[in-house]
Amino acid sequence: MTYLHDQMASTGKVKRSKDLPQGAERLKEEHRKVVKDCRSQIEHWNKVEKDYESLQDRLRTLPDKLSYDIMVPFGPLAFMPGKLVHTNELTVLLGDNWFAKCSAKQADTLVEHRKKHVKNALDDLQKVMKNFQNKDDFTDDLEKLAGDTEDFVDIREEVINEEEFTKGKRLAHKPNSKPKQEYLSDLEEDTEKKEGDEERTTGLLSEEELWARLDELECEEELQDERYRHAVRINTGKNTTLKFSERNEQKVQAKRKKKSGKSNGLSPHESYKITSPADIYRVFVDLVNGEPIPRKSILKSRSRENSVCSDTSESSTADFEERRAAFGRSWSHDDATHSDTSDGITEEESPTGTSPRTNGRFEAFTGTVIEKEPLPCSIPYLTIAPPALPTIPERKLEEVGPEALQEPPKRMSKFKATRLHQT
Amino acid sequence: MAEAIQKKLQSELEKYQQLQKDVSKSMSARQKLEAQLTENNIVKEELALLDIQNTVYKLIGPVLVKQDLDEAKATVSKRLEYINGEIQRYETLLKEMERKSEQHREVLSSLQHVNIFCRPSGLSRPRVNYAR
């Protein structure tokens, strides 16, 4: 035990070349030992069986004559001529110091019975031996698998400084973080190394492609984010509603300007244009630590970040949401348009001006977006919170247009809204 | 500090070895019992093959004592039950000893880790994080 620990302590990491053959060697040794044991035992039992068979022969011939002339052993060194009588009467040892007087035929039966036991033992041993032989062959194959680099390769990654990554518990990715560059670089390395292996390279490449595409899309989105700066609701905590007010709006803008450091040339009005479905996502953005972070889904509110369930952290959802948004630009997300998802987006759209334009774009949304209606009527859509969703209680309404938004946020189902809208 | 730990390690090691010896002793006793079990089973079966005409003897010391067939059968059955009971007892004993030896093993390994860390430097630099 100490030896192993010392070894580990000295090397620090498991070397690929040394470890596997050693382990395999050890395993094979054990297998071979067992197989050898089995073989010797099988030999022993075979001898026993032969003995019994010769005994049976003797038993069958013994009663043929009434008496036999034999040389009787006297002690270890001498013999005496004598006669063997009562040839049919045998005292048989039954085992455990029990004896029985029986005839030759009965003895024969007993011997048969014993031979059955011997056969059972032999069968068991044969099975065990075959088992271990198979195991041995399998480890041989495994070794070949891992050792050679030709047909199959055992995928191994060397973990350096494991403590750094785990720190005792798992950490979710920070929002807007790309997957660690090291992993990416490892992937690249691996693909370079094992290019001969078709199966794996294709898999890795596609993964790499994925990451690359993700990065592209992220960059694109960031650029777009800069251009379309909507009013971002500061996270004022759980269960608080923030009514639309110009003061806040200005505050927010001021904060944004301060933090971004770029002059946002667009007027507040223009910044709230929704021209594509993705813009909706831009609207539903949380401000965390001064950074606008897109939310995982506009149905989800930040109220769940303190919940016990896993992965409700904003960071992880935001991360996930990024990717989703990146992938599905042309997503038609019905509920997204209607749900007003959380603690605070104040969406200040200039209602009338944009609505005719948005009409055309809303084709991506199936059937629940109003067309040819002044935006104030569409406001109810944006303020709808489907009652089934758990995050409803936390949601604050978006205040889309100035007029309609002055009233306290009403919640109605989208069906009701459609009805209202249609009537 | 390292010496105290060394001493502790030694004593723990001895205890562990003692325990291992006990375990192996119990193991061998149990194996013997198992052999007796199979033997007595065979005797029982063979007695069943005999009939009342055959005289059954029991070897007690240097003497072959005549026994009744039915009596012999009963005696063998009782012996079988006794052997089974003994095997059960040894089983529980072994399990208990195994558990204790496991505990000792853990103590030993933890002591060893401490030992490695506290060892005067220059020998080996531990790099693997054992803390769990």
Chain pair A-B, CB pairs under 8 angstroms: 84
Query: Across chain B, what does the average pLDDT equal?
Result: 87
ipTM, interface predicted TM-score of the complex:
0.76
- Which of A6, A97, A101 is closest, CB to CB, to B124? A6
pLDDT in tens, B106-130: 988 888 888 887 766 545 455 555 5
Domain carrying residue B10: 1-114
The pLDDT score that the predictor gives to residue A157 is 82
The pLDDT score that the predictor gives to residue A416 is 83
B37 inside domain = yes
B95 inside domain = yes
Residues of chain B in contact with residue A96, where contact means CB-CB under 8 angstroms, are 36, 39-40, 43, 76, 79
B53 inside domain = yes
B122 inside domain = no
| Rounded percentage of chain B residues whose pLDDT exceeds 70 | 89
B124 inside domain = no
What CATH number does the domain containing B59 carry?
A: 1.10.287.370
The pLDDT score that the predictor gives to residue A226 is 77
B86 inside domain = yes
State the smallest CA–CA distance between residue A204 and chain B in angstroms.
30
Q: Please identify every stretch of chain A with a pLDDT value under 70, giving residue numbers as ranges.
A: 1-20, 146-154, 161-205, 227-272, 286-288, 290-292, 294, 300-412, 423
The pLDDT score that the predictor gives to residue A279 is 80
B121 inside domain = no
Return d(Cα A304, Cα A212) in angstroms, integer: 31
The pLDDT score that the predictor gives to residue A315 is 46
3 state DSSP class of B24:
helix
The pLDDT score that the predictor gives to residue A413 is 74
The pLDDT score that the predictor gives to residue A419 is 81
Residues of chain B in contact with residue A6, where contact means CB-CB under 8 angstroms, are 116, 124
The number of distinct structural domains making up chain B is: 1
Query: Contact A96/B129, CB-based, under 8 Å?
Result: no
pTM of the model as a whole = 0.44
Q: Please identify every stretch of chain B with a pLDDT value under 70, giving residue numbers as ranges.
A: 119-132
CB atoms within 10 A of CB A393: 12
